[in-house]
Amino acid sequence: MNKLLSTLFALLLLVVAAQAQSVDDLLKPVTRTYALKNVTIVQKPGTMIEGGTIVIKDGLIHSVGKNVTIPANAKVLEADSMFVYAGFIDALSNIGIPEPKPDNNRERPRGEIRANPPYEMAGIMPHAEAEDMVSTSDKEIEAFRKLGITAVQTVPHGGMIPGQTALIILAGDKAADMILLEEVAMVGTFEDAGRVFPATIMGVMTKYRELFGQARQYMAHEAAYEKNPAMPRPESDEALESLAEVASGEQMMFMVAPGVKDLYRAMTLERDVEVDMIMANVKEGWRVLDELKAAGKPVLVSTDLPKEIKEKKKKDDEEEAEEAENDPEMEALMKRKKETYDSYVSQAATFAEEGITFAFTTMGTKASDLRGNLQRMVKAGLSSEQALAALTTTPAEMMGVSNVMGSVEKGKIANLVVSDKPYFEEGSNVRFVLADGHVFEYDTSKKKSAGKSGESLSPGDLAGEWSYTINVPGQVTSGVMTLTDNGGDIEGTVEAETMGTTNMQSVVLSGNTLTFNISVDIQGQNMTLAYELDFTKEAFEGKVGVGSYGNFDVSGSKIP
């Protein structure tokens, strides 16, 4: 085992000669059987087993319960007394699909092409399929997976109709390994095309009506042609073919409608084009509560919340109160601001109270904000069971995959989240995530030698060159890490003897802890190495995670 891990890591860092053994063999885990014992198993909202055991075998949950026999070949994960949940499902986002780089060199369209542009130029891509764009190198995969998200309904970026979604699992060495379901749903937005028609919201509404009208005509023409092949053959149109599936009810449609105006537009459009739509990325649904309740359909609630209004110091409160007394308009404004903030944060709790079914979408949410935002919703009245349902059972039901995910039951895909305390409790930490049976371990321990408790460092403190050593069983690898302060943001590279330099991704400095990923390509197969390092101004210690192979100790010091 030590030899395998040592050889694997050496390959990943490209610091030793290539081995005769194939890459495919090296990437196979030592075992695909794992066990979690003496854990609190939250099988689904409201159903719990204390002191239970879970056995995972070949990517599936093999057994769950109190009196479960652990196979001799199982690797027991160190999760004693922790809490286990079904892996979270992101009901709609772009995770797994890298954002395309903007083309700033395009000439401004003129004449006919501006009034009647090609579909792609207008951002109308109903025939675009997410499964064709999924990439294992997307930096959001690891950022959200370490929070507990194991499956995502993902959609291409941008445009009025960005395309069709795919349900993917956030694990796999190749994009094809990640895809569970293709062409799950269509997604629409109210994003205009800017330089060409439709360039206004009125134009967007008009274009939707036109497109669905054309899609129905296309359907009618095809039906007539099937009955009478002697008539002119319908001209192929991928976009209209895809929209015809929505118009006929074969495929559901999510309409991205964050604000109250978007919601009213979506409801109007739904009536006009006679297509059932599920409101998605909803932020101001509390303003149209009666309409959403009357619709009787699930809603995708945004996890992107306004910036938290923090309590002010007593002195500030007194000064503000004095100002408010002298300025009634300011007092009224402050009151409205607080009421609006409270409505945003308590939206999910309000939906739950009113019986509106909802799932969560992380569209537009930063990974660094997700845990805190969920906890704010719980503080605002959403119960932990309701929050868990919105992340597990509800999205699974919406996508028709309750038979394979959404709860911790025998025979389901081994998508699990393990936290050291109840997940929605402040101070809880995710320790393990299992996605499709692949184990990802996250070490939350802080070494005293790496920095004083609570010590915060700035990007400038870390700027410079650092030597590092990684301890892998059977060998030690070393190299140089370079950090730079780019206007308050940290950027950096990791260098080893023969690999040149590799750019850091998803770099975050929190206090004295620096986290980042690097991606290594091995003969066409992408692997992500996740670093978590605790710094002083002179040295650091921490871990590097290599997917299901576990974590390895890293230490280093600043080069004078």
Query: pLDDT exceeding 70 applies to what percent of the chain?
Result: 84
pLDDT at 22: 42
> Domain 2-86+419-441 in CATH: superfamily?
Urease, subunit C, domain 1 (2.30.40.10)
CB 48 within 8 A of CB 41: yes
Q: Which residue has the higher pLDDT, 397 or 506?
A: 397
Amino acid code (one letter) for 102 = P
CB 409 within 8 A of CB 416: no
Q: Which of 199, 215, 50 is nearest to 126 (CA)?
A: 215
Instruction: Please name the residues in contact with 466: beta carbons below 8 A apart, sequence gap of 6 or more.
Output: 480, 481, 482, 483, 540, 556, 557, 558, 559
For domain 448-558, give the CATH number: 2.40.128.120
The pTM (predicted TM-score) of the whole model is 0.78
Matching fold, domains 2-86+419-441 and 92-100+116-403: no
CA distances from 400 to 252, 406, 435, 481 (A): 12, 11, 19, 46
* Range scoring the smallest mean pLDDT among 45-54, 283-292, 342-351, 468-477: 468-477
Instruction: Please name the residues in contact with 83: beta carbons below 8 A apart, sequence gap of 6 or more.
Output: 39, 40, 42, 418, 419, 420, 421, 422, 423
Q: Please report which confidence band the pLDDT of residue 294 belongs to, taking 50, 70 and 90 as the band edges.
A: very high
Does 241 have pLDDT greater than 60?
yes
Alpha carbon distance 140, 168 (integer Å): 13
All structural domains of the chain with their residue ranges: 2-86+419-441, 92-100+116-403, 448-558
pLDDT digits (tens, 9 = 90+) for 103-141: 665 666 767 788 889 999 999 999 999 999 999 988 899
CA distances from 453 to 457, 511, 523, 525, 558 (A): 12, 9, 42, 39, 20
Q: Please report which confidence band the pLDDT of residue 25 belongs to, taking 50, 70 and 90 as the band edges.
A: very low
Amino acid code (one letter) for 368 = S
pLDDT at 335: 84
Was domain 92-100+116-403 assigned CATH 3.20.20.140?
A: yes
Residue at token pair 């060409």: 196
Alpha carbon distance 22, 10 (integer Å): 14
pLDDT at 336: 87
Residues 169/526/547/57 CA torsion (nearest 10 deg): 50
Q: Which two tokens stand for residue 401?
A: 């995959």
